Amino acid sequence: MEIRDYLKTGKVLMFDGAMGTMLQRNGLKMGENPEIFAYKNPDILRDIHRQYLDAGTNTVLTCTFGCNELKLPEGYTVEMIIDNAVKTAREAIEESSSDKEKFVALDIGPIGEMLEPMGTLSFDRAYEIFKREVVRGVKAGVDVIVIETMMDLLEIKAAVLAAKENSDLPVFATMTFDEDGRSFTGCLPESMVYTIGGLGVDAIGVNCSLGPVQLLPIVEKICSVAQIPVMVQANAGLPSMHDGQATYDIGPDEYWEGVKKFIEAGASIIGGCCGTDPSYIKKISDNLSNVEIGDKNNEYVSAVCSPSKVVRIDEPRVVGERINPTGRKAFKEALKSGNTDYAVRLAIEQVNGGADILEINTGLPGIDERKAMVDILKEVQSVTDTPVQIDSSVVESLEAGLRYCNGRTIVNSVNGKDESLEAILPLVKKYGACVVGLTLDERGIPEKAEERVEIAKNIIKRAEEFGIRREDIYIDCLSLTVSAQQEAAYETLKAMKEVKKLGVHTTLGVSNISFGLPNRQAVNSAFLTLALDAGLDLAIINPNNERMMEAITSYKVIRNIDKGCTKFVERYSDVDNKKDVKSSTSSSEMSLFDLVEKGIKDEAKSKTIEMLKDTDENYILDEILIPALDVVGKKFEKGEIFLPQMIQSAEAVKASLTVIKENLISKNGDKKEDVSKGKIILATVEGDIHDIGKNIVKIMLENYGYEIIDLGRDVPVDKVVEKAVEENIKLVGLSALMTTTVKSMEETIKALKEKMPEVKIFVGGAVLTEDYASEIGADFYAKDAKSAVEIAKIIL
């Protein structure tokens, strides 16, 4: 039986339990590579698989979780590990006495490096790494591909695309979530389902993360939106460390109680993760007949999302129209020069104005539109969690947008022409997006509503033939210029009412209606209200136009959508100050503080240049840049922003620092002494990648004439010691920003003092205090860059 057929039988598909736990019991040492250990010990691996199969497992995961070209040590290839792992799993199936259906699953885990913008790995490179695993897995003859323990939505997307584009095998995909209900990078379970479920995987779910009790709310969330089978592999409770090994706090009986609840919630693929072993799997298998897979019974609601925000189209939503070069000279210039900050600024302004979704249109003759789409998409998604809609007449540009979008998007647009439908609908389906359908075809825009409805019906029919759900189609009945064709506005509204009855959603670019008229906003807002009443779901408008926003927010009050008028009151309770709030959000007038907080790099740089004309560098550093990062840090801690936004803020500070540094150099150029006052090594300690503070210290020390050997960040203990010995250094400065990395600061100090008892060490970083610094053996504590200079003066 094929695994896809098994999923239709209504029976639970059983996976195995933890591999690491079992390998450790059989001799795997702490820190040893499990894939290599298993490769060298196929008998042990076969026996573990067989134990799981005999306990009731249907599907064994190959021992290939960390088998990617970046993680494997020299001398081992992805191909040899996968071939051996699949062969051993097959042999175990042969040996097993179980009479259940049995399958081999290629296990693909995270690469182990962060993708851009959180790390340096590109999406395309990640795709290639996963592709190599998939291609070999297919060749080795696996039955299913399981992509698991993912934390980053973009990484799991790269893996799933690699699997789908290079094999016909079923694909199951799971992520891990923390107790706050988000993945490590801030992804929501619902975003995972909408984005990855849309890519055509056969099952979606969660593994690892937590024990069954803590995992239940997450499983329930997944089941509440998933339209495909749900897979769950929980840990055996929560971990604690004993003798350097993690042990988990619940046994098979309690584990089964939790698993039962997963199945009742609708999960139909079950296994175990960290801490589980064959006794857990046996307990589940023996009891499966006592429980029925619950009906997920969830009604499909069309939605778009970013990793950390889902926007359901269950009430009228605002699509911000301004990232579009049409009629915007400054944006055209920005596109030509490759400046993405302009679009980022428009994005932030529109989000502040109340956009639920941001449209991105980079259509401009003479530029590389595909590249512009990708660059702007990446930058916009780094600074805001508002989902996006992509708009282009160039198919390659749309495909690029679909591919690199972190989340689920809307494609604007197809029309009734065959050529358009055939080029775009397959892409919409492949990437699991929603689509705007324009009611025009070879004949142009029909005058009468009835004909527009006919075109809509054809678009719906064709989209459904490609497997696109009706709810994910947003029909645009097109607004024409009322001053030229006065009867046309009514036809649009009439068509919209009819189209709405077809079970699709509707969308409309509203402002066309008023071309050529004075006081356009009056007509626009009246038309918007009428359109909303005719069933408009997605209003493509300028959210920074208060009249339009007033129309939509008032409509939601009148139609009892904004329950208790909460959102209306929130927006307008301080209506007199509203103007001020609005103008302060225009980024050209934003303060440096706000630019850092929002992560707008180029403008942070220009603002710094402007400020340096009459502001002291120290003021900018101490009163603006550092406090802005403090606010960012607090928001991160509270879960109000996530890693990508924190990275953008750090980038904005770095941009500002380059200017400050250049300014100091040019100011001191003529004063600069030819002879260095002495050499100092600076490093951020191992495990810590925070280097802004260290870089400020470097700038200051250089400014005072010291020669700095900057070893960078995440610097291993040995490297610091080697360099200090090689250069016969008298003074070393170490930075650490996290409670977890103060330990490696202590180790670095210890190693330095052992090799060079006479060396002096100063330390700094937000987690340190004077007392703590001396406790870990440092000679000096530098609270800030100025103190670092004072210390250098004393020692050198």
List residues near ligand B1M by CB under 6 A: 626, 629-630, 632-633, 636-637, 643, 646-647, 650, 682, 687-694, 696-697, 733-735, 737-740, 762, 764-767, 782, 784-785, 788
The amino acid at residue 4 is: R
Nearer to ligand B1M, 502 or 664 (CB): 664
Q: Do β-strands 267-272 and 230-234 pair in parallel, antiparallel, or remain unpaired?
A: parallel
Nearer to ligand B1M, 364 or 767 (CB): 767
Residue of 257, 212, 220 whose CA lies nearest to 238: 212
Nearer to ligand B1M, 436 or 737 (CB): 737
Residue of 21, 9, 169 whose CA lies nearest to 100: 9
- Tokens representing residue 326 in the block: 């049409």
CA distance 772 to 418: 71
CA distance 4 to 278: 25
- Burial (CB count <10 Å: 0-12, 13-18, 19+), residue 426: middle
E-only strand ranges, 186-324: 203-208, 230-234, 239-242, 245-248, 267-272, 303-306, 309-312, 317-323
DSSP 8-state symbol, 616:
-
Nearer to ligand B1M, 178 or 533 (CB): 178
Nearer to ligand B1M, 210 or 692 (CB): 692
Nearer to ligand B1M, 301 or 689 (CB): 689
> Shortest Cβ distance from residue 711 to ligand B1M (Å)?
11
> Shortest Cβ distance from residue 690 to ligand B1M (Å)?
4
DSSP 171-217: EEEEE---TTSS-TT---HHHHHHHHHTTT-SEEEEEESS-HHHHHH
Nearer to ligand B1M, 12 or 632 (CB): 632
CA distance 63 to 85: 6
CB neighbours of 431 closer than 8 A, spacing ≥ 6? Answer: 198, 199, 402, 403, 405, 409
> Shortest Cβ distance from residue 618 to ligand B1M (Å)?
10
> Shortest Cβ distance from residue 69 to ligand B1M (Å)?
23
Residue of 225, 724, 319 whose CA lies nearest to 552: 319
Q: How far is CA 3 from CA 7, 97, 595, 713, 760, in A?
A: 6, 20, 52, 47, 65
Q: H helices within 75-205, ranges in order?
A: 78-95, 123-140, 153-166, 189-197
434 is in an annotated binding site: no
> Shortest Cβ distance from residue 730 to ligand B1M (Å)?
14
- CB count, 10 Å around CB of 495? 27
Question: Do 477 and 496 contact (CB within 8 A), yes or no?
Answer: yes
- CB count, 10 Å around CB of 501? 9
> Shortest Cβ distance from residue 626 to ligand B1M (Å)?
5
> Shortest Cβ distance from residue 206 to ligand B1M (Å)?
19
> Shortest Cβ distance from residue 722 to ligand B1M (Å)?
18
CA distance 160 to 522: 48
Nearer to ligand B1M, 433 or 680 (CB): 680
> Shortest Cβ distance from residue 771 to ligand B1M (Å)?
16
Which residues make beta-bridge pairs with 476?
A: 438, 507
> Shortest Cβ distance from residue 322 to ligand B1M (Å)?
28
Nearer to ligand B1M, 515 or 704 (CB): 704
Nearer to ligand B1M, 471 or 602 (CB): 602
DSSP 8-state symbol, 385:
-
- CB count, 10 Å around CB of 541? 28
67 is in an annotated binding site: no
Nearer to ligand B1M, 267 or 782 (CB): 782
- CB count, 10 Å around CB of 487? 10
> Shortest Cβ distance from residue 737 to ligand B1M (Å)?
4
Residues flagged as binding site for Zn(2+): 208, 273-274
Residues flagged as binding site: 208, 273-274
